[in-house]
A and B are shown apart, each in its own frame.
Chain A
């Protein structure tokens, strides 16, 4: 290496020995393919895109900074820029924090390899495939979308959905209260028989043990009644219990005092009848509580306008947490054990050790993860275009997606597309300069 010092600058003498090609021929041949490829596919297009961004849609007319003005005034594009900044603010921090937590937890156990593999796995698959996966996860219908199904399970455990979510009163004798419960208008006294007719009930919602509805006998000193499906195919008289009309079993009927307070409740039999025995003299109302009519859980609209960006971010964090975990775990393994032990011997709590020793020592690694994520998040594209249905892509828009949709997605405005690309380029540069300076410091 030190034997031949290459002359720097200035033309080489023609008769130099060995000749120019003998001396540098190998280098030229070794480098030629790289220079051609980089020149044609990266350097030339970059210059061309910058120039193109000052021309109009078809490229014939010089428009100065008009494309850049559009970039910052058009609603779709400003949404994209705003969303992308949200991504920058939220995602790198989350990915780094989650990776740190996982790495620290892994430190404490054996058999951590299985966990590492599972969490790291999404890194190997494409962001596009991850998008397909999460599109399925986010389906709104709780019988198909995994996340809404999970929420439905929790919700049903806390407040089960009503047995008769679609039921309506069959006559005006029953009145719907603002809170959704149904109250019989006519006051009742002991010895009365209440008839609570409901309609609008799907056959599938009628309990399987339901039988022909019956009007019960009056009970002295008590109030009896029937809740039934006041509907029969081919007509019938509303408000009357008729043949082929089924009782509604298992419905909770409340007996309320005149001022609305609940006195007692009971459940209906399979023929729809119910009875309150030993009721004190007075005036009462019969009612069916609102919970009977509460609608089943319809699912959160994850892929709707308002939640789409957080939903995609979550999918993206799922992909990248493994990267963050593996890099941080490697950094953690390199921390001298004695430092942590010394801190513990000095009486520091685990939290203090983490906060005052581990994190500061990990700072360079955390920075690598954070900065790497900044660069990737700035260019996020695949997962947005695959999770967001076409109808909400305007709401989920990010800079890289806006660039592609403007240039190739139907609008085909190469001038504006170029301006968006240049904007993206300008945003990436400072982050990478930071990264390169760090590299050089470490080298």
Chain B
């Protein structure tokens, strides 16, 4: 990102050169009108599906099965918040939202804590076979989740972890680790050696160094990672569908209503919109970290 940012700024400056006469700039702007129009049109196309879900979720129950969402514009009276009120009174849905939140928070904190410890060891501690072990850990990125579903399903049934929040958190934690360790180790290794050496000479233990030096300096990377992991777990369907029955996160709760899609739209549409509104809030609030994380390593 840092390599990409510099030329962008340079270009912006070049564009805004002061001796550029206004008329020339106007001509250039006009020449670009088709591009603006095209992009505006594409942007609208990209926005319509999400807006469609939102306006559908506002249709009153009598209209929702017969009316397209665009009719909200011609007859605003068919729009109502009743569906949302209904959803928030529905304990299955609110319970699922809380379950999702606990799973997502747990499965964000735990893997980052565990991965930060391991990443520190891989970056700054000496032990035999270190680099080899690091390659093995990162290589586990290859393993698709599907490879673990069946044995873990049996294991959870024996251990009583099936259909529990800890069961889901632990599963997400393990599968989040290889990428988290990869990212954090690469970040930690860029921390100036002098800082660590100074702390060691002062007699600080490895734990003290970890908490007082590494974690504060590693916060940008940790933030990126936390956003990704949170969204990843919040948005998960596959793992939850396999290991949850009654302790359902929101995706599974909505999914179970989709067998009768048409007759359940007044429930599905607002629930789906709430379930996607939270990631959107996270995305808009932390956009910068999100894009940075994306560019740092796009493989998960």
Interface, chain A (partner B; CB < 8 A): 1, 4-9, 24, 26-31, 33-34, 37-38, 40-46, 48-49, 52, 102, 105-106, 108-110, 112, 114-115, 117-119, 121-130, 132-137, 143-146, 149, 318, 321, 323, 326-327, 330-331, 333-337, 368-369, 372, 375, 379, 381-382, 385-386, 389-390, 400, 403-404, 407-408, 414, 417-418, 420-422, 424-425, 428-429, 432, 435-436
Contacts of B120 in A (CB 8 A): 30
B30 within 8 A of A: no
The interface residues of chain B, by DSSP majority, are classed as: helix
Contacts of A389 in B (CB 8 A): 261
Binding stretch for chain A, among B72-80, B85-93, B217-225, B290-298: B290-298
B56/A136 in contact, CB under 8 A: yes
B127/A6 in contact, CB under 8 A: yes
Contacts of B174 in A (CB 8 A): 37-38, 40-42
Q: How far is the CA of A4 from the CA of B234 in the complex (A)?
A: 44
B39/A115 in contact, CB under 8 A: yes
B50/A121 in contact, CB under 8 A: yes
Contacts of B269 in A (CB 8 A): 132, 136
A121/B280 in contact, CB under 8 A: yes
Query: Pick the contact of A425 from B144, B170, B255 — CB < 8 Å?
Result: B144
Q: How far is the CA of A330 from the CA of B298 in the complex (A)?
A: 13
Q: How far is the CA of A144 from the CA of B185 in the complex (A)?
A: 51
Contacts of B50 in A (CB 8 A): 121-122, 125, 133
B36/A132 in contact, CB under 8 A: no
Q: Number of residue pairs across A and B with beta carbons under 8 Å? A: 289
Query: Pick the contact of B206 from A6, A30, A123, A375 — CB < 8 Å?
Result: A30
A128/B237 in contact, CB under 8 A: yes
Contacts of B166 in A (CB 8 A): none
Q: How far is the CA of A327 from the CA of B290 in the complex (A)?
A: 12
B299/A38 in contact, CB under 8 A: no
Cβ-closest chain A residue relative to B238: A381
A118/B149 in contact, CB under 8 A: no
Q: How far is the CA of A36 from the CA of B144 in the complex (A)?
A: 19
Q: How far is the CA of A136 from the CA of B70 in the complex (A)?
A: 13
Cβ-closest chain A residue relative to B69: A146
B237/A126 in contact, CB under 8 A: yes
Contacts of B121 in A (CB 8 A): 26-27, 30-31
Knowing A115-B43, A330-B295, the reply to whether A432 touches B35 (Cβ < 8 A) is: no
Knowing A33-B114, A37-B173, A418-B150, the reply to whether A42 touches B258 (Cβ < 8 A) is: no
A105/B39 in contact, CB under 8 A: yes
B229 within 8 A of A: no
A318/B299 in contact, CB under 8 A: no
Interface size of B by CB at 8 A reads 108
Q: How far is the CA of A27 from the CA of B133 in the complex (A)?
A: 12
Beta-carbon contacts under 8 Å, B226-248 to A: 231, 234-238, 241-242
A422/B242 in contact, CB under 8 A: no
Q: How far is the CA of A326 from the CA of B254 in the complex (A)?
A: 31
Q: How far is the CA of A130 from the CA of B258 in the complex (A)?
A: 14
Contacts of A130 in B (CB 8 A): 49
A34/B181 in contact, CB under 8 A: yes
Interface, chain B (partner A; CB < 8 A): 1, 3-5, 7-8, 10-11, 14-15, 32, 35-36, 38-39, 42-43, 46-50, 52-53, 56, 65-70, 114-115, 117-118, 120-121, 124-130, 133, 137-153, 155, 170-171, 173-175, 177-178, 181, 193, 205-207, 210, 231, 234-238, 241-242, 251, 254-255, 258-259, 261, 265, 268-269, 272, 275-276, 279-280, 282-284, 287, 290-291, 294-295, 298-299
B142/A432 in contact, CB under 8 A: yes
Cβ distance B40 to chain A, nearest Cβ, rounded Å:
8
Known: A48-B150, A132-B268, A337-B10. 8 other contacts (CB 8 A): A40-B174, A127-B237, A130-B49, A132-B269, A379-B145, A403-B149, A424-B144, A424-B146
A49/B147 in contact, CB under 8 A: yes
A119/B299 in contact, CB under 8 A: no
Query: Pick the contact of B143 from A28, A46, A106 — CB < 8 Å?
Result: A46
Cβ distance B32 to chain A, nearest Cβ, rounded Å:
6
Cβ-closest chain A residue relative to B125: A27
B126/A137 in contact, CB under 8 A: no
Return 27 A-B CB contacts under 8 Å, by A number. Answer: A33-B117, A33-B118, A34-B137, A34-B177, A37-B114, A38-B140, A44-B151, A45-B149, A49-B150, A109-B39, A119-B43, A127-B237, A128-B255, A129-B276, A133-B49, A133-B52, A133-B53, A143-B67, A146-B49, A327-B294, A330-B4, A334-B7, A337-B10, A372-B299, A382-B238, A408-B241, A436-B139
Query: Pick the contact of A45 from B66, B151, B295 — CB < 8 Å?
Result: B151
Cβ distance B56 to chain A, nearest Cβ, rounded Å:
6
Q: How far is the CA of A405 from the CA of B50 in the complex (A)?
A: 29
Q: How far is the CA of A408 from the CA of B177 in the complex (A)?
A: 26
Query: Pick the contact of A421 from B10, B36, B142, B144 — CB < 8 Å?
Result: B144
Cβ distance A121 to chain B, nearest Cβ, rounded Å:
7
Contacts of A129 in B (CB 8 A): 235, 251, 272, 275-276
A42/B242 in contact, CB under 8 A: no
Q: How far is the CA of A432 from the CA of B65 in the complex (A)?
A: 45
A126/B299 in contact, CB under 8 A: no
B255/A407 in contact, CB under 8 A: no
Q: How far is the CA of A117 from the CA of B147 in the complex (A)?
A: 35
Q: How far is the CA of A26 from the CA of B214 in the complex (A)?
A: 15
A334/B146 in contact, CB under 8 A: no
Cβ-closest chain B residue relative to A418: B150
A318/B46 in contact, CB under 8 A: yes
Knowing A6-B128, A372-B298, A385-B237, the reply to whether A336 touches B7 (Cβ < 8 A) is: yes
Q: How far is the CA of A383 from the CA of B66 in the complex (A)?
A: 25
B126/A4 in contact, CB under 8 A: yes
